[in-house]
Amino acid sequence: MQVVHEPAELRRLCDEVRARGQRVGLVPTMGALHRGHLALVAAARERADVVLVSIFVNPTQFGPGEDLDRYPRTLDADVAACAEAGAHYVFAPASDAMYPPGEETRVNVGATAADLCGAHRPGHFEGVATVVTKLFAIVGSCVAVFGRKDYQQLRVIHRLVTDLFLPVEVVGAPTVRESDGLALSSRNRYLREGERPKALALRTGLGAAWDAFAAGERSVTKLRALATAPLSAVDRIDYVTVADPDTMRPLDDDARAGDRVLVAMAAWVGKTRLIDNLVLGEDERPYREQT
C-alpha cells in the first residue's frame, strides 16, 4: 500500500486505474480510524478494484472554538489499519496542499444542510462540501463510500453530486456500533471514565423510538419525546429532530411519520459532542437488551 501526499500524484494514479478499465473506490475520512471507517473500506472493496482512503483533518469544517486543534491525529496507526483492511492507497495531504495560499472558493450548500447539525455548526457543511468537492475533482470518476453515522452529511453529499453533475456514485454504509450500541466515533476517545455510560443515552433514546415505531407509533411528538427522555443523562442537548430522511426537513410536532422517518440527535457529554441517528423503518435496532 502506498501513501500519497500530493493531489497531482493522486490524480495521475487514479487516471491510470481508469485507463486499465478499473474502478476507483474512495473513502474520505479525517483519520483516527476505527472499525466504522474500516467497514467503509470493506464496502468500497466490494464495489471497486482499487481503494483509496483519504485522511485529512479539514480545517474549514470546524468552527471557531471547536476541536480542530485537539482532533486526534494517528497517521501511522491509520496507514497500518488501511493496509490491513486491504486499501491500495492512502491520500494524506498537507493542509496547504488542499488549501494553497490564495485559495478562496467555497461550495455553497442549501436546505439539506440548514437544520440539525447545520443549525448548530454554522459553516460546517460548507466546509465538508468544499473539501469533498476538491477530493472528487482530484480523484475523478469513482464510487465514494460514506457512513450513515453522519446521516445529514451523506444527504448533503448526495445533493452535491446530483446538483453539480459530479461523476461519483455515492454509497451510504450502515453505522458500526460497539456491542452495547454506542456508535463508533473518533471523538469517543475524548470520553473520560465515567462519561461513557452517559454517552449510551443516545442509543437508548433511539432504541425507544425504534421500538415504538415498530409497534405502530407514528406521532412525531411521541417519537421525539421517547428519543429525548434518556438524554436527561447528558450534559447538554443540541437537538433531537424527527425529519424527512431524504430532504432532512424537520417534521412538525403534529405531523405523522411515514414508512421511513429519521430520528437524529446531537448531545454533549462533558466536552465531547456526540451524534447519532436512525432511519426508522429502514435501520436495524441499535442494540439488543442484555438478558
Residues that bind ligand AMP (CB under 6 A): 29-30, 36-37, 39-40, 146-147, 149-150, 173, 175-176, 183-186
> What is the closest distance, in whole angstroms, from the C-beta atom of residue 90 to ligand AMP in the complex?
13
Q: Which is nearer to ligand AMP, 7 or 28 (CB)?
A: 28
Q: Which is nearer to ligand AMP, 133 or 175 (CB)?
A: 175
Q: In sequence order, what are the residues at sequence separation of 6 or more whose Cβ sits closer than 8 angstroms to the Cβ of residue 191?
A: 199, 269, 270, 272
Annotated catalytic residues are 37
N-terminal to C-terminal alpha carbon distance within the chain: 44
Cell representation of residue 265: 440527535
> What is the closest distance, in whole angstroms, from the C-beta atom of residue 269 to ligand AMP in the complex?
16
> What is the closest distance, in whole angstroms, from the C-beta atom of residue 145 to ligand AMP in the complex?
7
| Neighbouring C-beta atoms of residue 108, cutoff 10 Å | 9
Sequence letter at residue 84: E
Asked whether 195 and 273 are in contact (CB, 8 A), the reply is no
Q: Which is nearer to ligand AMP, 95 or 258 (CB)?
A: 95
Cell representation of residue 104: 478562496
Q: Which is nearer to ligand AMP, 149 or 273 (CB)?
A: 149
Q: CA 201 → CA 9, 195, 233, distances in Å?
A: 45, 11, 6
Q: Which is nearer to ligand AMP, 40 or 212 (CB)?
A: 40
Spatial CA neighbour of 224 closest among 199, 249, 245, 243? 243
> What is the closest distance, in whole angstroms, from the C-beta atom of residue 240 to ligand AMP in the complex?
19
What is the separation of C-alpha 73 from the centre of its chain, rounded to a whole number of angstroms?
18
Cell representation of residue 87: 486499501
> What is the closest distance, in whole angstroms, from the C-beta atom of residue 135 to ligand AMP in the complex?
12
Strands 2-4 and 168-173: unpaired
Distance CA 8, CA 201 (A): 45
